[in-house]
Chain A
Amino acid sequence: KNQVEQSPQSLIILEGKNCTLQCNYTVSPFSNLRWYKQDTGRGPVSLTIMTFSENTKSNGRYTATLDADTKQSSLHITASQLSDSASYICVVSAYRGSTLGRLYFGRGTQLTVWP
């Protein structure tokens, strides 16, 4: 069964600190993995996307890693800011041959940054 599991479910950190969010997946055949940031009541916004051959991708203070062998990914946030408070969703794409990609969403990690 294709699944995406994220941990922790929620996280509270102090402003300026670093944190790491985890994503484990069982989606097959694997196409790519994305991390999205979703502010409350808003649509998700893409942070990073990694294919099978990429094991790290950065976007400013966000760095995502991918281990396709163990089917694990992490999102590391450095020097957190209050605006980082949001839900972070791991999304894995599966391809069906040459046709359409199907996305599998994790439940997200709710990050709260305190001043």
Chain B
Amino acid sequence: DAGVTQSPTHLIKTRGQQVTLRCSPKSGHDTVSWYQQALGQGPQFIFQYYEEEERQRGNFPDRFSGHQFPNYSSELNVNALLLGDSALYLCASSLRGGGETQYFGPGTRLLVL
């Protein structure tokens, strides 16, 4: 039974570019949440997807967008990258909208130069 998987593991981009990160939830989970974790900080909630809709959103600009597919996998898109977007991006999956324990993937480390 595969846990949460994310791809790619590492990514280097330059300012102004666009990036897409991918997440496959744990088998049987239907909810995906995305977090940004800067070095030495706790994860910051970006948004959560359930039933293919964005259900909740943290304090992130519209440059951050996402999508959930019918198979519950999800993508995080970031446009017009800034240096400050460099971080570990974590995906977490859970059941029924996030009230249950969230299981985290290994993360994608994004470096913006």
Q: Name A's B-contacting residues (CB within 8 A).
A: 4, 31, 34, 36, 41-46, 49, 89, 93, 95, 99-108, 110
Contacts and interface: CB of A to CB of B under 8 A. Distances in A.
A100 B107 contact: no
Contact of A89 (B31, B42, B45, B88): B42
Interface string B78-113: 000000000010101000011101111111010000
Given A42-B106, A44-B43, A100 B90 contact: no
Contact of B98 (A42, A44, A102, A105): A102
A105 B43 contact: yes
B99 to A, nearest CB: 4
Contacts of A36: 104
Contacts of A102: 45, 48, 56, 98
Interface residues of B, number: 28
B103 A103 contact: no
A39 to B, nearest CB: 10
A34 B101 contact: yes
A93 B98 CA distance: 9
B98 A43 contact: no
B104 A45 contact: yes
Given A89-B43, A100-B56, A103-B33, 11 more contacts: A31-B99, A42-B106, A44-B90, A93-B99, A100-B97, A100-B98, A104-B45, A105-B35, A106-B42, A107-B40, A110-B40
Interface string B45-85: 10010100001100000000000000000000000000000
B45 A105 contact: yes
Nearest to B48: A100
